[in-house]
Amino acid sequence: RSYSIAVIPGDGIGKEVMPEGMRVLEKAASIFGFEIEQKWHDFACCDYYARHGKMMPDNWKEEIGRPDAIFFGAVGWPDTVPDHVSLWGSLLQFRREYDQYVNLRPVRLMPGVPCPLAGREPGDIDFWVVRENTEGEYSSVGGIMFPNTDREVVIQETVMTRIGVDRVLRYAFDLAQKRERKHLTSATKSNGIAITMPYWDQRVEAIGAEYPDVSHDKYHIDILTAQFVLNPDRFDVVVGSNLFGDILSDLGPACTGTIGVAPSGNINPEGIHPSLFEPVHGSAPDIAGQGIANPVGQIWSAAMMLEHLGEAEAAAAIMRAVEQVLATPSARTRDLKGAASTDACGKAIAEALG
């Protein structure tokens, strides 16, 4: 078995954690008997953009080719490139152009990661956030009327489609069906956002009817964020629109203390286009260049990528190695009250792998 991987480390700490992700990936390949063909790309603010004034060449799809997956670090360098330019020029473009309509993130209490919630232990919290990843509130449709006057009116359209909503709901219900509790929670705001959100609720009912063995409920997003803090053990699979999923998939890892180590998959479930795997954290300009970034998010993303590629055994082995290292104070990075450097932590995980 051989997998072609497009590697895009990006900016800031993306460049520091990516080598550790690759280290562990290659080690897993040698142990489990598959091959990784890698092609690196410098699509980042501080590389390609600095030279060409755009995030990627116009023929970026050709450059990337048809890899089995994309392994992504973090993009963004607000001092030189505004965030909406860098993100719409790379990450958000991949999500749309490769129709990665599912954004998938685990919310899991891990050993060795201090939990900001009182009285919670590893095992207590373990759910997935499924986020619609291509449409909804993240649209570029709209504009400004009477610009630069007191009458200025700014409009942005949220656009949901039957196709877009139904397919991500089916993915979420499928996932819930495979789990023990078989429960799905939908994020809504149909009491305030009076057109798209009642529609979302309707489609949840319609698709839910196809899954009689999966129970489901819904919460308005405001009280749902409160429930993440108050009763995080209540959730199994949580599904939300692009914006609501974005919020919940940062808040969830924050509630488990894992925001610095959480991974994510941007998935095209049909496999027509490559899926993209990236840590939840960003490029973190404030700590970039110091060799102190935590590589676990990148490495956990490698595990998600392998799972997606069908290498479930290797993925599980990486997760065991990650848990073992997180439970070892001396192998942890500074954010987890250890003193290990980025590469020392990465090496420890590669070693623990076997």
Ligand X SMILES: CC(C)[C@H](C(=O)O)[C@@H](O)C(=O)O
Q: Are 210 and 220 in contact (CB under 8 A)?
A: no
For residues 224 and 353, which CB has a smaller minimum distance to ligand X in the complex? Answer: 224
Residue type for 82, please?
Answer: P
| 323 contact choice in a second copy, ligand X, none (CB below 5 to 8 Å, kind-dependent) | none
Instruction: Find, among 325, 293, 224, 253, the residue nearest to 103 by Cα.
Output: 253
Q: Tell me how far apart the alpha carbons of residues 282 and 260 are, in angstroms, rounded to a whole number.
A: 9
Contact positions with ligand X (CB under 6 A) in 29-88: 87
Contact positions with a second copy (CB under 8 A) in 216-245: 221-223, 225-227, 229-230, 242-243
Q: Tell me how far apart the alpha carbons of residues 169 and 164 are, in angstroms, rounded to a whole number.
A: 9
| 59 contact choice in ligand X, a second copy, none (CB below 5 to 8 Å, kind-dependent) | none
Does position 272 interact with a second copy (CB under 8 A)? The reply is no
Does position 151 interact with a second copy (CB under 8 A)? The reply is yes
User: Dihedral through CA 81, CA 87, CA 88, CA 92, nearest 10?
Assistant: 170
* DSSP 8-state code for residue 209: T
Q: What's the Cα-to-Cα distance from 116 to each of 38, 113, 229, 259, 338, rounded to whole Å?
A: 38, 9, 9, 11, 17
Site string for a second copy, 155-184 (x = CB under 8 A): xxxxxxxxx---------------------
- Choosing from 177, 191, 290, 330, the residue that interacts with a second copy (CB under 8 A) is 191
Site string for a second copy, 285-304 (x = CB under 8 A): --------------------
The helix (run of H) or strand (run of E) holding residue 352 is helix 342-352
Contact positions with a second copy (CB under 8 A) in 64-93: 76, 82-84, 87-88, 92
Does position 198 interact with ligand X (CB under 6 A)? The reply is no
Interface with ligand X (CB under 6 A): 87, 92, 191-192, 222, 246
